[in-house]
Amino acid sequence: MTLYSYCESPIGELLLTGERDRISGLYFSTGSKARGADSEWERQDKTFRKARRQIEEYFAGDRREFDLVLAPHGTEFQLDVLNALLKIPYGETCTYAEVAESVGRPKAARAVGMANSRNPIALIIPCHRVIGSNGTLTGFGGGLRAKRYLLEHEFAHSGLFA
């Protein structure tokens, strides 16, 4: 059975989903991929206590990496892309082409974009750190305002230019 909980954030309410101790989804309440809980899911806030605490620490600027058991769903290629996203350092960005290169598919920048857009565990798997080759912010399921906020938040707390 899918369990769920909500977490407040500066970019709106976040929906967490999963089973037992495994996170299978983190969704925004705004943007093109906004999502709410399905009626057959069971709300269980206790199950997501650790995840909510880590998200709060992230937004407070005290956490740069999440330490959670993740269970994303997707094709083999999508999962390869999600694993590549996990390697993008906090406070940094890369392009779709760079992600494509890192997964051994240098001509698959568009396919990386599609896989990125299907990231079921946004924020924790940092799809917001991927930008267009010309440095522009491109589509983001939580909306470009949320993407800009997340990037500016990480940059401000990264210590890269302190």
Which residues carry out catalysis? 127
Are 85 and 126 a contacting pair, CB within 8 Å?
Answer: yes
What does the alpha-carbon distance between residue 60 and residue 92 come to, in Å, rounded to a whole number? 18
Are 13 and 29 a contacting pair, CB within 8 Å?
Answer: yes
Beta bridge partners of 27: 15
Say how many C-beta atoms besides its own lie within 10 A of residue 62's C-beta: 10
